[in-house]
Amino acid sequence: MNILTDGLFIPNSIIYPEGTVTVEQGGEDIRGEGNLGWRYAKDVIADPIQNYLNTTYVNGQPLKDRINYIVLCKGIPLKVRSFPFEWMTSNRRQVSVSALLCLINQPDPNKNFLQLYSTSMTSQLNPYFGADINNTMNYRFKSNHFVNGGGWYTQYLVSRLDGQFYSDVFGLIDRSADPDYSGEKTCIIDDDSDPNYHHFDVVHQKLDALSFSLNPEVFVISQDWITEDPNNVIGYVSHGVHAGMPWYYILSILQFNYANGANFLSWESFNCWSFGVEESGHGHLSHFIYKGGSGGSGTVYEPYTTGVTQEYNTSPAYAMGYSIVDAHFQGIFLNAWQNCVVGDPLTTIAWGKQTLTENKTLSGTNLVTGEVTIPTGK
């Protein structure tokens, strides 16, 4: 059946002269020959959003120049599957919808993401990747600023509020609005001796410098899974099934209680394959949201190691006070690829360097990682 979301009509199929595009997998998966799925994503999702941003004015300024983030809700398709389907390919065919939407409203009107179809995955890089490797908090995202060598801007950061059930999404929203700022909750850094592509040691070093509670306290590479901690957990990174855990490890092997604002990142392919409709044989970000997590990132297909969110950028950025969305995009190397970020762009777990623009009342323990300027009268 066709899906009517607030503001967008998502037809279950469109007939193009070259063939038919269908939306399968419970509305998550856009399927078509060649670039037809990309065209559907542009015609049905990207163009209406872009037109709204370009024609809606606030205080005399178009909305496209006032926003930095786009948030997709449950019901908007998740990914594009290009036929003939190859589960592992190094060119841009199988992609996430949100990754494409990051590229709408390019300053050069002759650029649109259809031009990137079937190009090499490394031909266009995300200019926001590693923007603040020294964690200065001077690089909060803004539109019309971060541009790569090919002239493509990462124009908006696009995230999802998604989960297996609508109740999961409501819980995610509630937790995101009230994150834990104490700096006293635990980050799990579960490294394994078999997978080689990672920098978990860098994450441990940087979070230890911020005095975060860490498990393990001293960095170690081990085949023993970390499944328990007496403290509430604010961050989790592991190799998931590649460390030998079963695909349902988040659901029933991990015995953590998650603090509001808890963040997820695993070195697994397909960990955003679906939000509750299908299992891929890997741990899923949707499982983490179901168990009380507040966001994270993954990939909708096989991203290669180059395409995985790089934890050595993302985890320290989030700990320093970047939003969960900014932090994950600082760890995403490729534009228009398979990455998917879940989280509220306003969710942070530390008071990083900033100037307060509205009245704030702080209570309890608050982690302040940079200079907070309080204007007169606030």
Structure tokens at 154: 């990462």
- 73-86 confidence digits (pLDDT tens): 999 999 999 999 99
* Residues 293, 275 contacting (CB under 8 angstroms): no
Q: Which residues of the chain have pLDDT under 50?
A: 1, 3-5
Burial of 61 (0-12, 13-18, 19+ CB in 10 A): exposed
Q: How far is CA 175 from CA 75, 169, 360, 374, in A?
A: 21, 10, 18, 26
Structure tokens at 340: 């998917």
The model carries a pTM of: 0.94
Predicted pLDDT of residue 361: 65
- Beta-carbon contacts of 375 under 8 Å, excluding residues fewer than 6 positions away, are 355, 356, 357
- 309-351 confidence digits (pLDDT tens): 999 999 999 999 999 999 999 999 999 999 999 999 999 999 8
Closest-CA residue to 162 (of 321, 28, 30, 336): 28
Predicted pLDDT of residue 374: 63
Q: What residue ranges do the domains of the chain occupy?
A: 166-354
Predicted pLDDT of residue 368: 72
DSSP alpha helix (H) spans, the chain: 36-40, 47-55, 97-101, 166-177, 200-209, 285-290, 304-307, 311-320, 324-329
Closest-CA residue to 129 (of 299, 327, 363, 280): 327
Predicted pLDDT of residue 4: 45
Q: Rounded distance, CA 349 to CA 237, Å?
A: 17
* Residues 316, 305 contacting (CB under 8 angstroms): no
Predicted pLDDT of residue 360: 65
Closest-CA residue to 332 (of 141, 175, 180, 204): 141
How far separated are the first and last CA of the chain, in Å rounded? 51
